[in-house]
Structure 1
Amino acid sequence: MTVQSFSMTTFILSEDNGIIFEKRVPELSLSEFLCYGPQKEAGKSGKSLLRKTKDGRIVEWNVEKDDSLCTLQDAFQQVEPSLGFNIELKFDDHIVYQQDYLIHVLEAILQVVFEHGEDRSIIFSSFQPDAALLVRKLQSTYPVYFLTDGGAKIFYDVRRNSLEEAIRVCLEGGLQGIVSEVKAVFRNPEAVSKIKDAKLSLITYGQLNNVSEAVYLQHLMGIDGVIADLVQEITEAVSDLIKPSKVEEEESLADEMEEVKSKPNFSQRELSFLLKLIPELIQ
């Protein structure tokens, strides 16, 4: 299944008369939100968008192909029905949210999902532990995954600081799985078996997932899926790595032996070595 990640940043950066404005998306009305960037009406220009780099610099919004902003309902109605959605529920890392507010936001999202999601494959995910737990309580139709960077950053909420804590959140809240930064998994490969033993699904994200060898290694580890930017390229490269050297319509025992030989047979020691080596090579 191919899944489209549908999310929105917490802030919008724009420029007006040489002055840069940073506005929180939840504080904008729908009409204000839709006035940024390219507009649906031909010949109409929206407010110019900017973006902030990791080092804090403000630069122009420059992409190969851009389109007007849309609502979740628009996405459901305009995206090919066979395409699944990963709806990431984004909240500000520096705000302590009250439960009533979270419920209000989540119920508004769920209303759109139930009215327009129809038979589409959908999962929910969030870095905000309480949001993930609440969306699971509010519905049981769609799977919910807890997002974590597994300790790459340290947060006040300890539930966000390790894969072990992520497992605990999932088990206590009845969540279906974890979406982890891939480097956290490579640093702590033992966590994969713990996650599997807990009957949870494991998906990864991160820059290393644009490297086919790193994705293939995750395939060997039993990780269920990856989120990558270069979807087609990575899919084709990994398929070439895992397909057998000889395929017959009627497989014989000899064919099966050839398939086994065509795949690397790493010992646990060798696999552990690769887990330590690959991130270093990529860096």
Structure 2
Amino acid sequence: MVQGIVNESRVTDLSLSEFLLYGPQKETEKIGKTLMRKSKEGKVLKWDVDLDDSLCTLQEAFEQVEQTLGFNIELKFDDQTVYEREFLVHILRSVLQVVSNYAKDRPVIFSSFQPDAAKLVRELQSTYPVFFLTDAGNEIHNDERRNSLEEAIQVCLEGGLQGIVSEVKGVFRNPAAISKIKESNLSLLTYGKLNNVGEAVYMQYVMGIDGVIVDFVEEIIESTTRMMIRPPPSSSPLPSPSKDDDVAITRPEFSQKEISFLLKLLSQLIQH
């Protein structure tokens, strides 16, 4: 936004120098262009976050973020655009060149909602795992490959991908897909607002889901750890776990009937 006028631009239409002019600037005396965001309903809203920093390039992220932290590089593309293979190859090779030059020994995975891009990045390199992102039917897309976990499995098998990252409600609505994913030797991760609820994350642990993407990492770790700690034999209150505590963490044992009941209950709850 400049002088009260909102100019809508795609990131891909901006040069690097234009892109870096938005938001907080590295040189604090400079004022960046105001960032706005557009809702799914088309409303233009102010970009409002608790903490913000200047925009950076992927190279700068590799150079400045602690080396032990892994990167999930999401390859974003326009939902409404049909991309030619040559264009995707050009974009992906540019990203892969930066990763090759600067990732060093950092753990890296790639992910994308764009099925052709996900398959292509796997075709172009075999060093890093590639995951297919899916709404799993929570939103309907013109590309049928994006509309169900079954289609996501097919994308992964066709492209030699390592796994699926699904919106968590899609998994709770279709728990039978978990066994199909496991039988296909694929990993399953989830994302979504429900993953900020400890009980929902714990349920996924019980179901055998491999990992979750959450906003409040420390809070979720604490709440789920409490649920996983084996109760002490005495009737004394359970102390808060600390890093130095020698606690027994076990996966609870439920019968298939109990798990089936819980999944049906969850499926009903998330529809309301």
- With normalisation by structure 1, the TM-score equals 0.87
Q: Which residue, 10, 13, 19 being the options, matches 1:33?
A: 19
Corresponding residue for residue 62 of structure 1: 48
Task: Encode CA deviations 1:257-277: one digit per residue, 9 max, x unaligned.
Answer: xx79x8643222222222232
Post-superposition shift, 1:281?
4.5
CA–CA separation in structure 2 for the residues paired with 1:274 and 1:20: 48
Equivalent pair of 1:37/1:49 in contact (CA under 8 Å): yes
Tell me whether 1:182 sits opposite 2:168 in the alignment. yes
**Match in the other structure for 1:79:** 65
The alpha-carbon distance between structure 1 residues 196 and 34, as it changes in their structure 2 partners (threshold 3 A), is same
What is the deviation of 1:278? 3.2
Residues of 2 paired with 1:273 and 1:121: CA distance?
38
Match of residue 214 from structure 1: 200
* Aligned 1:152-163 pairs, distance under 5 A: 152-163=138-149
Q: How far does residue 33 in structure 1 lie from its aligned partner after superposition?
A: 0.2
Comparing 45-54 with 204-213, which one deviates more in the overlay?
Answer: 45-54
Count of aligned pairs: 257
- Counterparts in 2 of 1:87 and 1:233: CA distance versus 1, 3 Å: same
Q: 1:38-65: per-residue Cα shift (whole Å, max 9, x none)?
A: 0001211110111223443222222111
RMSD across aligned C-alpha pairs, in angstroms? Answer: 1.7
Tell me the residue number matched to 1:119. 105
| Aligned 8 A contact 2:228 2:252 in 1 | no
1: CA distance, partners of 2:261 / 2:201:
16
Residue 270 (structure 1) aligned with residue 266 (structure 2): no
Q: Which amino acid aligns with 2:52?
A: D
TM-score by length of 2: 0.90
2:33 is matched with which residue? 47
Structure 2 gap segments, 5+ residues each? 234-247
The correspondence for 1:143, drawn from 122, 129, 132, is: 129
Residue range with higher mean Cα deviation, 31-40 or 16-25: 16-25
Note the C-alpha offset of 1:138: 0.3
Residues 37 and 68 of structure 1 are in contact (CA less than 8 Å); yes or no, is this contact kept in structure 2? yes
Alignment of 1:195-210 (within 5 A): 195-210=181-196
| Contact kept? 1:244, 1:263, Cα under 8 Å | no
Cα distance per residue 1:166-200 (max 9 Å; x no partner): 11111111100000010010011010000001110
Q: Which amino acid aligns with 2:256?
A: Q
Greater mean deviation of Cα atoms: 265-274 or 183-192? 265-274
Structure-2 separation of matches of 1:36 and 1:125: 26
- Confirm or deny: 8 A CA contact 2:23 2:34 kept in the other structure: yes
